[in-house]
Amino acid sequence: MHTIRVLVVGDHFVTPQLMADALRNRLGDRVEISSLTLPWPHTPFGPVGEVDEASGDEDELIAAVAGVEVVVTQMAPFTARVLAATDALRLLVVCRGGPVNVNLAAAAERGVLVRSTPGRNAVAAAEHTVALLLAALRRIPQTHTGVRAGEWRSDLYALDAVGSELAGTTVGLVGYGAIGRRVGRILRAFDAEVLVHDPYADLDSLDGVRAVGLDELLDRASVVSLHARLTPDTRAMIGAKELARLPQGAVLVNTARGGLLDYDAVVEALESGRLGAAAFDVFDAEPLPAGSRLRTAPNVVLTPHLAGATRQTAERAATLAADEVVAYLEQR
């Protein structure tokens, strides 16, 4: 039986051990595995060469990939330079929703099949989204900080200071893929009315939510949560004009990509009261710069791009990647 040389390029989240265990569980001794560990998340990811959201060094990767037919990675920078140096690579599996750290044109030129693992973090990201939404609606971080500081703000029971319930609230989801769909199911369990805008959604399986145009969603939704992919068409899709359409005091949540939002417009809407609250896990610049206006904006909840950070996400990513390797071998 022919043995396949596989390189697993893990990090400190989706570790090489998780990847190797998933591969051996499915393929046994059909795979000969070598490994490389990247510094993320102890060192933030960023651009490497012409690719983004990558970790590691091109030269180290070039040395490791020699003679390898299959690579499984999450963050390795597969730039044109790295791909040009591969001599046997046929399959590249990226343990993420999309292969943003791969030069897809260069991979296609060399006949390298690129696969990813969409949905690997759908459960985690959906649960984090709802947690942020509830934290913003009920101002939990602010009151938690107050109690720890010795405050007891019974004045927050005043009618003009209290938060809102999800039950009976109209929530708009911009994007209805794996994460948005799961968020919609959770919100319906809270008895919220859920509107969705996604030109690519399967309208035959909306799970009890209603598809609308973006303008109608913005006009009606008291809570808006973003779940769209970042593309040239969706970049800065929510700016001052769109925020102005929202009902007074609406809440905005973004756990998708920072580039979907004009954050300066968001801060102005928070400061003016047009937005009642906001909660963000992603930003247009990461890490969030020291001078970011979001750091001092009122009624905002911030987390450092951790929506997908669960043990189950890492394990699921490794398993889905192994499934892609199995599918490749079955079609060879």
Q: Look-up: residue for tokens 């020699």? A: 66
Give yes or no for a contact between 275 and 301, defined as CB atoms under 8 angstroms apart.
no
Catalytic: 305? Answer: yes
Among the listed residues 309, 307, 320, the one whose alpha carbon sits nearest the alpha carbon of residue 95: 320
DSSP string for residues in 67-127: T-SEEEESS--B-HHHHHT-SS--EEEESSSS-TTB-HHHHHHTT-EEEE-TTTTHHHHHH
Strands 275-280 and 250-254: parallel
Round to whole Å and give the CA distance between 95 and 99: 8
Catalytic residue (choose from 268, 271, 286, 315):
286
Catalytic residue (choose from 257, 274, 316, 324):
257
Crossing angle between the packed helical segments 122-138 and 178-189, to the nearest 10 degrees = 50
Catalytic: 165? Answer: no
Among the listed residues 36, 23, 31, the one whose alpha carbon sits nearest the alpha carbon of residue 77: 36
Catalytic: 257? Answer: yes
Among the listed residues 97, 249, 77, the one whose alpha carbon sits nearest the alpha carbon of residue 162: 249
Q: Which three-class secondary structure state does DSSP give residue 62?
A: helix
**Who contacts 202 (Cβ-Cβ below 8 Å, separation ≥6)?**
none
- Which pairs from 139-142 meet CB under 8 Å and 24+ separation? 139/163, 139/277, 139/299, 140/301, 141/301, 142/299
Catalytic residue (choose from 227, 274, 305, 316):
305
Residues with a known catalytic role: 257, 286, 305
